[in-house]
A and B are shown apart, each in its own frame.
Chain A
Amino acid sequence: MSDLRAYAWSEAHKPDPASAPVRVYVWELPVRVSHWFIFLPIVVLSFTGYYMHNPFIVARSSTQFLMATMRFIHLVSGSVFIAAFILRMYWFFVGNHWSSWRSFWPIRRRQWRGMGNMVAYYSFLKKDLVHHVGHNALAAVTYLLMFTLMLIEIITGLTLYTHVRGPWLLAPLFSWIPRVIDIQNLRLIHFCIMFSFFAFVIHHVYSAVLVSWEERNGLIESIFTGYKFVPRDELEEESSWQGK
């Protein structure tokens, strides 16, 4: 335990028995699974999707089936992505405190304060990081935005799919959309949101490394194992306002 304690220290946290780190199971299995099955398909979808926008590899022989293969992979990984997305949305409602939808919406004053703290930290106005067991408030709002963008990506994607496919089970849900937003603009939206994922992944990995480093809380490892190391007083403090 004392080893762990040492590891969890940062200069912001002076050694204090009350802040002895505790191992907390933060990210449940569906959260971790959906995290990776959202990330990996996005990598594949971005590559194949970009190819569909601009076929940069030109086939040299007539026996190749490049574009058709790319489109096939795009559709399959899109389905995996949608499944993972649905799983995560479901877990919003049945998951633990840190994965619940409640911890994402900035509905409490505390969350707004937390966001201000994070902005101040990122813009070097504040020296020390305020620690969080789950997501910090700013990250939570960013994820909410990303989930929204993913939803738009899914809707535009299925609309484009319906446009090519014609009638299918869910076609009535999407076939009206091109009347409101032209199909070319839907493609533009579908394409541009991809870059917001690129930007997000860069920032996400960076801030995870940064926070993991500053807090020494095993944040990076937590998305594989589910466990984070949190000082006891923080955990107690957080559980005191949980569910209120």
Chain B
Amino acid sequence: MFPSNESFVGALQKKGVNRRRFIKFCAAMTATLALPPRYVAQVASALEKAKKPVLVWLQFQDCAGNSESILRSSHPSVLEVVLDLLSWEYHEIIMAGAGHQAEAALERVVKEEKGKYLAVVEGAIPLADDGVYCTVSGKTALDIARRVCSNAAATIAAGACAWDGGLVAAAPNPTGAVGISEAVPEAKVINLGGCPQNPANTAAVLVHYLTFGELPAVDQYNRPLFAYGRIIHDQCERRAHYDAGRYVQEWGDEGHRRGYCLYKMGCKGPQATYNCPSVRWNDGTSWPVKSGHGCIACASHRFWDTRSPFYDRLPSVPGFGADVTAGQIGMGVTAAVAGATIVHGIASAVRDRMRTPPGASTPPATRGPAEKN
């Protein structure tokens, strides 16, 4: 770990990252933040002057996918710059220290860097049964989160679980899991939803913080607008097929091989916001829809509950089996009403006839104006 007062450029040079790569990184970050190119210089000079902020990375009920996501970004400039941008004092997966030593390091950051360090939270926090479902070194996740996040300058909720409980909080949520802002309401939280979160966005939030001294503009869920402000469907490369009316009908069919739109396969791109199509994954190589699978809206609020079934357009209707779609129910109801109407019509016609008094010359049905008199 680097001493926290070391300058960022110094650290980069030690690592052998040259200026060209550094500027490239600044340009990429500026673009991700949706800022005009003239901000590249400002980002670069701010990063050069910035003191490496201390960062602690907490993991609770998680799969470590967000850590993997950020550590596996193979693009050297992003990886190195992001890692070197910060002084990582605590991260269970990658820190060298263990046991009391590690816990002491965390405690030291909370005490000495109070109000100045950044916290990243990965994973949900269980509240049921006094939080016994997730403990680290004898303390519950809730206790640790309260202590660390409420003393941090800002907390980044990395991934769906830290944001809204994610998979862990999906129904029936046996551990009472919640996201960090619900567990620690006093913490200043920015949510980076997604399963996992995209490392480019995490880096961009940090760069924004270092450049402007504040967190980026957020939406109603406290997610940065630059990453969560646009609908996936509007940025999708298959959109032309959608508008034209060309759809994949089943996996592996002709349309699938030709890259048609995945709407009928349950793609939730129209109901999801994320910059996934533009920043993509594995250093901009691809993203789910590009590789042939519909979007499951992993960056949407409580997506396990709200966006499933992932391969149908609409949610299942409560009270019916998972195999019955809303369309089938609707058609059934309509057909039942039509059938009942026919039966009722026949019965009414019979009643109408029965009402005709015996011996009447004409039934009412045929009595018209002409027959009077």
Contact = CB atoms under 8 A, between A and B. Distances in A.
A6 B245 contact: no
Contact of B243 (A53, A68, A195): A68
Contacts of B344: 122, 206
Contact of A62 (B246, B270, B355, B369): B246
A154 interface: no
A213 B15 CA distance: 91
B252 interface: no
Contacts of A2: 372-373
Interface string A150-173: 000000000000011000000000
Nearest to B272: A183
B324 interface: no
A66 interface: yes
A5 B326 CA distance: 50
B330 A192 contact: yes
A63 B367 CA distance: 59
Contact of A206 (B329, B341, B364): B341
Main secondary structure of the interface of A (DSSP, over half): helix
Contacts of B97: none
Interface residues of B, number: 50
A210 B345 contact: yes
Contacts of B146: none
A244 to B, nearest CB: 33
A220 B105 CA distance: 84
Nearest to A5: B372
Interface of A: 2-7, 9-11, 53-55, 57-59, 62-68, 122, 124, 127-128, 163-164, 176, 179, 182-185, 187-188, 191-192, 194-196, 198-199, 202-203, 206, 210, 213-214
7 contacts: A53-B314, A62-B244, A62-B246, A65-B244, A68-B243, A198-B337, A199-B337
Interface of B: 220, 231, 240, 242-247, 249, 255, 263-264, 268, 270-271, 301-302, 306-307, 313-315, 317, 326-327, 329-331, 333-334, 337-338, 341, 344-345, 347-348, 351-352, 355-357, 364, 367-369, 371-373
Give 8 closest A-B pairs by Cβ, nearest first: A66-B245, A195-B330, A59-B245, A6-B372, A3-B369, A68-B243, A199-B337, A182-B306
